[in-house]
Structure 1
């Protein structure tokens, strides 16, 4: 990575510690939102008189803009300064959080969540990129490890803090809690060195690609969420669906016509060509292509299970928000404790065994969650499925990341990671939009224990099926090991 500032920060210095704290606090805001917003859905739905579609949009509005613009956010940081774009994202996210907390209606809450996702797209790539660009190479591994561990702690404490705030005060406080975190980042800002990529200086941005991707996902998501109320054949559903499909087709065509990131090709008028946000050359690797299809299946299932489970625990099983949040804590703890060992095992034996076994364990865990019903005892009916699901996640997450990076040349590692991350978020987005339609949940069904319990059990079968397909896909591809160089068209 070529930067305008020589990397030299060390953890033992004030500047090094300040930069690390800022990165951890900022990523903590995004991680907290991902763990506590789902827990708050029943309470905010009741308070704002929302229907099922409103709850879907509270989750998907944020995911949509984050997935659509996170690659652009990383590119903006490379060009204009990672510190600058990171801080803009932090302030943006904080202001949007205030708007979420004060939202008087479900419509305004959804709008604020969409705006919040844009802020997250600016800060999320910057939090790790600053560490990568600014720390001395000898200290970089320790700094990234500390960032990962401390960010994981914020994810683990999210259910405790969020659940307590929801039960004791109001669901609105899960958004207000972002304000002191943002203030902490701003106070640490003077320690953060600025860094840029020299290769990105003359690069124009793929604004068209970002907008087409966002509009494509938005159109399809809107159609899926609106279908239960308006019917699959209605103009209200068909028009946005067709517009979304057309935008995604146009997105693919636009990306095919553009060059690779950072490559200074010129247009006919002599100006630098906008690089592709989604470089087509990456997909000449069949391994990379199949791994991203695998990601779509397994992360679609994950998004669906997490969306349904916390509502099931509160609306059907009678858990409080705090109890529902804590119920899934073993999954987070297993990831924190076992991900490093899982990654090390994948390095020794190759990632494919874990990529096959992981989703199958998750599928078995999803089927065990059928035990979660009215007045479900946690130890006997919730914990077995949660533990098995968590073991599956622990088995596959780290090996999937290493396999994606091993499937491309080193110079494309950053883009490949971003593409895979976007695929995971898009999969969750579409699953949360589609599953209520597939299982017949609409209107205020989330507040009807009998109706929601029936839909929850059907959704688990769909999610288990997606996970099994993911496991089968992993069998069909030869995943490169950590020491292997990828080959073009490798399978």
Structure 2
């Protein structure tokens, strides 16, 4: 292993009693749930925020965008910093910032102050999420690592499922600031638990590259901004400028960190075929999810003329079944290769997308629901084994970089899927939903092929 990188991570659960292990896991999953929920609940609150702060719909959408961009831009730098100062410190700092920023969002008196608080909230979420998988690797014994990642996927799926319901329930009895204020008690509880139970992790000895971090943030931030701009039909010249600038900063980053022992954009890890295929497959899977969850509401409401309540009901089986399947797949991943389990999951997901794209003109409720169940089963069966493949194929001392890629792949795939869905609607109007679902089936097929390829590639260079 390259000099300057910690060769060994701490022994998982070292020094922790069983009770402390459970509390540490609770703290980690609480932060993950809050960060995931905040993406979902903000979408529901946008009309109320726009009305209260006298903002236009085009302006208020930035309440969601700046949070997402701040997260994507800083996930990898925070993951790299975690390898140097300790994953638990980055997690705790992110959790504290997220909690404080949530209170600032609740007290925002204008759109500008809310956007500033949302940027801080996104930075805090990035800190906690960037080292999430690395900490799961520490607080679960090796024989239960896959199970831990299954629980991780279960938390995300549950937050995704309950987010709109929680937001609607809060808005029915209170104003939108309470959507952010509710994070305070949970954040404080997670902070207290973390201070008492999170174990210290081995620290690398190389220095943190601050200029490299800036280049990484500019590269990923501009690329995601370009994707978001395309999804919102911004002028093509602006979209191209944002994407080209992002690629330019990425090129400068690669040149700067060519000989770095732990590059921030982890090119060293992508030289490992298993890691590269697992990360690419993750992007494919979340692109499928993005395509589906952007296009299906339009299809249900504008083509099938269903109500918003019915649409919510139709969308629920997907994340609900993910929550059921993820722990099962996590346990299986402790005994079977991720390439096999992930390939089966992506094949199921692709089958479900084809079935949704070929819905009859006037489908019954059952016809829609069982197709969504297949998609959820495939997506849930894929996630935990794939996360384990990403983390396990990286050296122990590079857990921060690998964990950052887990979160970056998720957000990048979701952004790509949303942008491609918007592109399909721009080209085909109401028929765009069917094309988006078909495109999602294509991404699932590509992911399925890449997943099965993992059965025949070496896990590290030179082997």
Question: Superposition pairs for residues 359-378 of structure 1, below 5 Å?
Answer: 359-369=346-356
Match status 1:215 vs 2:221: no
CA contact (8 A) 1:81 1:196 kept: yes
Provide the TM-score with structure 1 as the length reference.
0.75
Match status 1:386 vs 2:388: no
Match of 1:252 among 228, 251, 254: 254
- What is aligned with 2:235? 231
For structure 1, the 5+ residue unaligned runs are: 261-275, 442-449
CA–CA separation in structure 2 for the residues paired with 1:347 and 1:143: 7
Match status 1:351 vs 2:338: yes
Offset at 1:313? Answer: 5.7
Pair 194,345 (structure 1): closer, same or farther in 2 beyond 3 Å: closer
- What is aligned with 2:5? none
Match of 2:315 among 295, 303, 328: 328
CA contact (8 A) 2:394 2:402 kept: yes
Partner SS state of residue 258, structure 1: coil
Question: Superposition pairs for residues 86-485 of structure 1, below 5 Å?
Answer: 86-101=91-106, 109-126=114-131, 133=138, 144=148, 148=152, 151=155, 156-188=161-193, 190-192=195-197, 195-197=200-202, 199-200=203-204, 202-227=205-230, 229-232=233-236, 234=237, 236-260=238-262, 276-309=263-296, 317-320=306-309, 327-345=314-332, 350-369=337-356, 379-380=365-366, 382-405=368-391, 407-409=393-395, 412=398, 415-440=401-426, 453-475=430-452, 477-479=453-455
CA deviation map 1:7-38 (0-9, x unaligned) = 322133xx555544433332221132244344
CA contact (8 A) 1:128 1:144 kept: no
CA–CA separation in structure 2 for the residues paired with 1:222 and 1:256: 26
Offset at 1:292? Answer: 2.4
Match status 1:71 vs 2:59: no
For structure 2, the 5+ residue unaligned runs are: 1-7
CA contact (8 A) 1:255 1:279 kept: no
CA–CA separation in structure 2 for the residues paired with 1:317 and 1:45: 26
- What is aligned with 2:67? 62
CA contact (8 A) 2:294 2:421 kept: no
Offset at 1:119? Answer: 0.3
Pair 360,7 (structure 1): closer, same or farther in 2 beyond 3 Å: closer
Offset at 1:393? Answer: 0.5
Offset at 1:391? Answer: 1.4
Provide the TM-score with structure 2 as the length reference.
0.79
CA contact (8 A) 1:159 1:326 kept: no
Offset at 1:489? Answer: 5.7
Asked which structure has the greater RCO (Cα within 8 Å, sep 6+), the reply is: 2
Q: What RMSD over aligned residues (CA atoms) do the two structures have, in Å?
A: 4.2
Across the two proteins, how many residue pairs are aligned to each other? 451
Offset at 1:390? Answer: 0.3
Offset at 1:104? Answer: 6.0
- What is aligned with 1:486? 459
Offset at 1:396? Answer: 1.5
Partner SS state of residue 440, structure 1: helix
Pair 84,413 (structure 1): closer, same or farther in 2 beyond 3 Å: closer
CA contact (8 A) 2:227 2:415 kept: no
CA–CA separation in structure 2 for the residues paired with 1:287 and 1:424: 18
CA–CA separation in structure 1 for the residues paired with 2:27 and 2:299: 36
CA deviation map 1:45-83 (0-9, x unaligned) = 67765446853x444432333233223323434444555
- What is aligned with 1:273? none
Match of 1:7 among 3, 11, 14: 14
CA deviation map 1:369-422 (0-9, x unaligned) = 458999x98833542332121011122212322333454555545533432432
Offset at 1:246? Answer: 0.7
Pair 406,23 (structure 1): closer, same or farther in 2 beyond 3 Å: closer
Pair 193,292 (structure 1): closer, same or farther in 2 beyond 3 Å: closer
